[in-house]
A and B are shown apart, each in its own frame.
Chain A
């Protein structure tokens, strides 16, 4: 069928996908030039994460922040991860950072940079510590629960753990108040299986949106005490801690992109049904 014989709707259904990609890419830029802030309602899973931290953490408690997301997932996970870090610091927690991704050093540095106002009054080794990268996924997570020193003899900078003040009496899962796992994959599963179930350590998930439906059953059944889903979870946490930031702005971009996707799906379906009727 030649191009002239096509109806308007059929032409619409056959628009080159690259046109849509261009519109999408340009549309996503708008909120970063001129922020569009939409009202954000707090979902129960994010509220439970926020309130769980506030209720469970006492000053001096040691908390693990597990970095299981790479640089590519910063837009999704970083705002919620930073909001939780800020909240933990406000509650007086001592934080252990470690990670399961090769580029964990970059992510840790970025967390320090984004929360620099909070870290400037803290002392490395006394209030927070960075142990670095651990390979071997679930086996390592299980071993960390039994003995942190079996995986990390030193911190990331070569200081033996016994010489780090906040690590003096900390070696196993029962010494840790709770674990917050920033994820793009299934690392939180390992903490559920190896920390939450055998030792009872509370675990919460700071995941990408894709993991929302995967981990919702764990949250609903009380295995996870809270959960932040993607950039939306980040925006909700920013609202809860009273510091609207990157995720709040990014939600504008997300909303624009979703409106475009919905319009594209509607147009494509109209075109499809119009061509079938013909």
Chain B
């Protein structure tokens, strides 16, 4: 994309650049009014976009057309939705528990529908299935490591037996496996944050025309 030429686009670009610097003034310098201004602007804008987007999508696109066609059953979720606002009143908060109960029930039911096969059955099958014929040493190492790691990590959470003797060795290994897993997870988190930061570093240079747009 070439560097924008329309005044409004250039203005937008520089506003974004300044707001980004205001936000980064917190880690690179210290908390200051510019950071707070940018932070509050961001939160306000995001909330406004979220509110408008959701309410328009819900009421105009999803609820209004069926209601206009005489589908009166659509009134039930609308009433349930309004009941949620009783959360704001200490006296009538109990009314909001009904829509919350419906939400929790529906969410649980929907989630359970597809949880057993991918999250439990497939994982167990994948853990106990040995590598195919012709697999290399690395595949066998992975297979054994995952099998032993899974068993030991699960054993770590058996709390009805004291972790002593053979059980103690297994649970200690399980704890190490969990720590390695969390380390890998944290490493991926760092990678993600760095990619985000690199995006901002690139934008910083693009606005100054040091890097191509």
Chains A and B are bound partners: yes
Residues of chain B in range 93-127 having any CB-CB distance to chain A below 8 Å = 106-107, 110-111, 113-115, 117-118, 122-123, 125-126
Which of B191, B195, B205 is A29 in contact with, Cβ under 8 Å? B205
In Å, the complex CA distance between A72 and B194 comes to 12
Question: A198-221: contact bitstring with B at CB < 8 Å (1 yes, 0 no)?
Answer: 100000000011111110011011
B188 near A212 with CB under 8 A, answer yes
B113 near A194 with CB under 8 A, answer yes
In Å, the complex CA distance between A33 and B141 comes to 42
- Of the four ranges (under 10, 10 to 19, 20 to 34, 35 or more), the interface on chain B belongs to 35 or more
| A258 interfacial by beta-carbon distance below 8 Å | yes
Taking the nearest CB of chain B, how far is it from the CB of A194, in angstroms? 6
Known contacts A153-B65, A210-B188, A258 near B53 by CB under 8 Å: no
In Å, the complex CA distance between A24 and B200 comes to 12
In Å, the complex CA distance between A261 and B194 comes to 10
Known contacts A113-B1, A209-B192, A210-B189, A253 near B201 by CB under 8 Å: yes
Question: A130-163: contact bitstring with B at CB < 8 Å (1 yes, 0 no)?
Answer: 0011110011001000000001111000000000
Which of B28, B115, B201, B211 is A18 in contact with, Cβ under 8 Å? B28
The residues of A that contact B27 with a CB separation of less than 8 Å are: 18, 21
| A273 interfacial by beta-carbon distance below 8 Å | no
In Å, the complex CA distance between A76 and B195 comes to 6
| A193 interfacial by beta-carbon distance below 8 Å | yes
| B210 interfacial by beta-carbon distance below 8 Å | yes
Q: Please tell me which stretch of B32-40, B54-62, B154-162, B163-171 contacts chain A, meaning at least 4 of its Cβ atoms lie within 8 angstroms of it.
A: B54-62
B195 near A138 with CB under 8 A, answer no
* Residue of A whose beta carbon sits closest to that of B54: A135
In Å, the complex CA distance between A196 and B196 comes to 30
| A82 interfacial by beta-carbon distance below 8 Å | no
The residues of A that contact B106 with a CB separation of less than 8 Å are: 139
A254 near B185 with CB under 8 A, answer no
Question: B1-34: contact bitstring with A at CB < 8 Å (1 yes, 0 no)?
Answer: 1000000000000000000000010011100000
Known contacts A222-B126, A223-B122, A230 near B205 by CB under 8 Å: no
Which of B61, B62, B198 is A250 in contact with, Cβ under 8 Å? B198
Taking the nearest CB of chain A, how far is it from the CB of B140, in angstroms? 15
In Å, the complex CA distance between A133 and B62 comes to 12
Which of A28, A198, A223 is B198 in contact with, Cβ under 8 Å? A28
In Å, the complex CA distance between A64 and B1 comes to 26
* Residue of A whose beta carbon sits closest to that of B103: A139
Known contacts A25-B197, A254-B191, A221 near B122 by CB under 8 Å: yes
Which of B24, B28, B57, B196 is A76 in contact with, Cβ under 8 Å? B196
The residues of A that contact B62 with a CB separation of less than 8 Å are: 151
Known contacts A29-B204, A32-B202, A193 near B195 by CB under 8 Å: no
A261 near B181 with CB under 8 A, answer no
Taking the nearest CB of chain A, how far is it from the CB of B24, in angstroms? 7
In Å, the complex CA distance between A151 and B61 comes to 8
| B90 interfacial by beta-carbon distance below 8 Å | no
| B70 interfacial by beta-carbon distance below 8 Å | no
The residues of A that contact B122 with a CB separation of less than 8 Å are: 218, 221-223
In Å, the complex CA distance between A106 and B24 comes to 23
| 6 interchain residue pairs of minimum CB distance | A193-B114, A75-B199, A221-B126, A209-B191, A253-B198, A221-B122
Which of B's residues lie within 8 Å of A, judged by CB? 1, 24, 27-29, 46, 49-50, 53-54, 57-58, 61-62, 65, 106-107, 110-111, 113-115, 117-118, 122-123, 125-126, 181, 184-185, 188-192, 194-199, 201-202, 204-205, 210-211
Which of A's residues lie within 8 Å of B, judged by CB? 18, 21-22, 24-25, 28-29, 32-33, 72-76, 102-103, 113, 132-135, 138-139, 142, 151-154, 192-194, 196-198, 208-214, 217-218, 220-223, 229-232, 250, 253-254, 257-258, 261
